[in-house]
Structure 1
Amino acid sequence: MVSTIQNTDVKQKDAARAAVVAVTSRAVFDCGVGGGDDVCGVGVAFPLLQALQRVNERLLEENPAESLLFDVVLITTSSQQQQQSSRISSSTRHYGLEVSRFCFSSEEDFIESLLTNGVQLFLTTDRNEATQASQSGVLSALLDQQIASCPPEQLRVMFCGDAIVQPDTGPTPASRQVAQSFSTQLGEMRQRFGVFNSPLSIVLVTSRGGRESCSGALQKLRSRGVSVDEAYCLAGAPQGPIVSLLRPHFLLSEGFRNLEE
């Protein structure tokens, strides 16, 4: 069973224009600790929500009528956390997080919760959930402990250029279309800001091949209106060191593959 509760504390986003991002509540909050009975401690994805919110704030500063914004949905599949639904909503209010909807579902029905809420990107610390979402056609990314140290004032998104150059090894055409649509929205958001002091940074990394692979990925992204801030061609070198240096909040691969190589 899926239950979705609208957060009346925040202004709801334009469903036709917003980029809907769902994050699991256990990644955002640690309900095992906290500063009081009604407040959970922060989880590894807390800076990520702050960064998403910062992009929205800057977009609205540029244009108060802006409708292309991140629409954040908090997904709860843990039966233990579902029993603390009021504590989760109180924690969101306490920390000033702009969450549009709270969605509660069983582990068996969480895919339905993503589809019902029109989620375009699903972020979780659970590898099994990320795989299930990807197989169901929802763009997903696996979060790890490293994002806890990511900067909250700038959203950093990394694209896997190898999956962009060779999309046939990835998901179904319908799934690729979802990924392409979301990347186009990111590109449009990035275009709203100048070269410097942008709250959104887009990075491209190609692990395999030479300059031609990186150039091909850049051209495909640009064809969708996505201009990157930085591009790295690793030519077979492990990407762990560059990921640790750049500290992206999440990594996107159109093949929905795990990028922790």
Structure 2
Amino acid sequence: MVSTIQNTDVKQKDADLAVVVAVTTRAVFESADDDGGDVYGVGVAFPLLQALHKVNERLLEESPAESLLFDVILITTDDEQQQQCSRITGSTRHYGLEVSRFCFSSQEDFTESLLKNNVQLFLTTDRNEALRASQNGVLSALLDQQLASCPSEQLRVMISGDAVLRPDTDPVPAGQKGAQSFSTQLGQMRQKFGIFNSPLSIVLVTLHGGRESCGDALRTLRSRGVSVDEAHCLAGAPRGPILSVLRSHFLLCDVVSCLEE
């Protein structure tokens, strides 16, 4: 069973134009060491939600009528957390998080809630959840513990150049379409800010191939209206060191194999 609760404390976004991002509650709030209090502690995804809010805030400063905004949903699949509905909503209010809706579902049917809410990006710390959502056509990204050290004043999105260059097939997989659509929307958002002091930074990382592959990925993204702030070509080198320095909030990739690495 899937249930959705609207957050009346937040002005609802335009359903047709907003970019819907769903984040699991367990990634946003830390409930492992539950002390029984009224408010959960903050989880690894807390800086991510703050960064998403900062982008929205700056977009509305540029144009109060702006409709291309991030619309954040918290999705709960843990039975124990579902019994703490009021604590989840209260914690969101306590920290001033801009969350439009709260979705509660079982592990078996959480993908139904993603599709029902037209989620364009699903973020979770659970690899199996990310894979299942991706296999059902929902663009997904896996969050890790390094996210806790990411900036909260700027959203940093990493795009896989290898995925960008993956040849189109007929028909194009839903996940690949989702990645292209999402990156295009990011590009539209990024164009609304100047070169400096932008609340949104797009980083391209090409794991394999040389400078030619990186250049091809850049040209492909530009053809979609996406200009990147940084581009890194690893040419087969280990990605761990550079990723820890770049401190991106998530890796945007359009294929299940990215989640299986």
Q: Tell me the TM-score range normalised by the shorter chain.
A: over 0.9
Give me the whole-angstrom Cα distance separating, in 1, the residues matched to 2:255 and 2:115.
19
**What stretches of structure 1 move > 2 A for 4+ residues in a row?**
31-37, 171-175, 256-261
Q: Is the 8 A contact 1:47 1:148 kept in 2?
A: yes
Please give the per-residue CA displacement for 1:84-129, whole angstroms capped at 9, x wherever unaligned.
0100000000000000000000000100000000000000000000
SS in structure 1 opposite 2:20?
strand
User: In structure 1, what is the equivalent of residue 37 of structure 2?
Assistant: 37
Please give the per-residue CA displacement for 1:173-228, whole angstroms capped at 9, x wherever unaligned.
33221211111100000000000000000000001111111011111111111000
Please give the per-residue CA displacement for 1:112-170, whole angstroms capped at 9, x wherever unaligned.
0000000000000000000000000000000000000000000000001011111459x
Equivalent residue pairs, number? 260
The CA deviation at 1:238 is 1.1
User: In structure 1, what is the equivalent of residue 119 of structure 2?
Assistant: 119
The CA deviation at 1:257 is 3.3
Residue 3, structure 1, aligned to residue 19, structure 2: no
User: Structure 2: which amino acid aligns with 1:137?
Assistant: G
Q: Is the 8 A contact 1:32 1:41 kept in 2?
A: no
Deviates more, 1:125-134 or 1:171-180: 171-180
Give me the whole-angstrom Cα distance separating, in 2, the residues matched to 1:257 and 1:89.
35
User: Structure 1: which amino acid aligns with 2:57?
Assistant: E
Give me the whole-angstrom Cα distance separating, in 1, the residues matched to 2:233 and 2:127.
27
Q: Any gaps of 5 or more consecutive residues in structure 2?
A: none
Q: Is the 8 A contact 2:130 2:259 kept in 1?
A: no
What is the percent sequence identity of the aligned residues? 77
User: In structure 2, what is the equivalent of residue 255 of structure 1?
Assistant: 255
Give me the whole-angstrom Cα distance separating, in 2, the residues matched to 1:258 and 1:44.
21
CA RMSD across the alignment: 1.6
User: In structure 2, what is the equivalent of residue 28 of structure 1?
Assistant: 28
SS in structure 2 opposite 1:257?
helix
Give me the whole-angstrom Cα distance separating, in 1, the residues matched to 2:248 and 2:9.
29
**Which residues of 2 match residues 104-143 of structure 1 at below 5 A?**
104-143=104-143
- TM-score, length basis structure 1: 0.96
- TM-score, length basis structure 2: 0.96
SS in structure 1 opposite 2:156?
strand
**Which residues of 2 match residues 1-261 of structure 1 at below 5 A?**
1-33=1-33, 37-168=37-168, 172-258=172-258
Give me the whole-angstrom Cα distance separating, in 1, the residues matched to 2:80 and 2:174.
34
Q: Is the 8 A contact 2:48 2:152 kept in 1?
A: yes
